[in-house]
Amino acid sequence: MFDRIMQKFEGSPSQQKVIRLLLERGFSVSDEGRVVSGGIEIPNTQIAREIDVDRRVVDSTTDAILADEELRRIFQNISSIPSLMDLAPVLDLTVLTVEVGDADQPGIVATVTTLLADADISIRQTVSEDPEFTDEPRLYIITDADVPGDVLNDLKNLDFVRKIELK
């Protein structure tokens, strides 16, 4: 899906930057062509400044989104969720990042979370990046406790795991 969306803007790297920001932040586009997060409007000048493009690029991108029925359905229904990843150090939580070889393989989340549950580790949040929207999707698991070395070894030895990281 991500590739299909980006292809619609393949002639404009600047518009692709806008699309990428909207998807990464979970911003939607209102019927009026305004970028919003929930009910809060985000000025196009702020978006343009964030990704170093002209404000008119944001305007033309939102116009293109509203003109395309498929894009309209996507960008009028996207939303963001609060993440504990950046708060983890403040709240004394652990962030386990799992990189996999084939993110389309079924059972990745279930296998990893089962290993943690079997070790009596409470999971506060799980965020799985969609392989359709990112080139190297990761699984982030925020836990209440540190993950013991033997569990890390078990995770590392799973066939689909390419790399694990703790923060």
Q: Mind listing the pLDDT tens digit for each residue in 99-152?
A: 998 888 999 999 999 999 999 999 999 999 888 777 788 999 999 999 999 999
pLDDT of residue 94: 96
pLDDT of residue 138: 93
pLDDT above 90 for 24: no
Domains of the chain, each with CATH number or no CATH: 2-75 (no CATH), 88-166 (3.30.70.260)
pLDDT of residue 93: 96
- C-alpha triplet 13, 19, 25: angle, nearest 5°: 135
Q: Is 11 exposed, middle or buried (0-12, 13-18, 19+ CB in 10 A)?
A: exposed
Residues 139/48/39/6 CA torsion (nearest 10 deg): -50
How far apart, in whole angstroms, are the C-alpha atoms of residue 148 and residue 133? 32
pLDDT of residue 96: 97
Question: Which tokens in the block code for residue 146?
Answer: 């540190």
How far apart, in whole angstroms, are the C-alpha atoms of residue 87 and residue 148? 21
pLDDT tens figures, 29-81: 999 999 999 989 999 999 999 999 999 999 999 999 999 999 999 999 998 88
Tracing tokens 């409007």 back to the chain, one arrives at 41
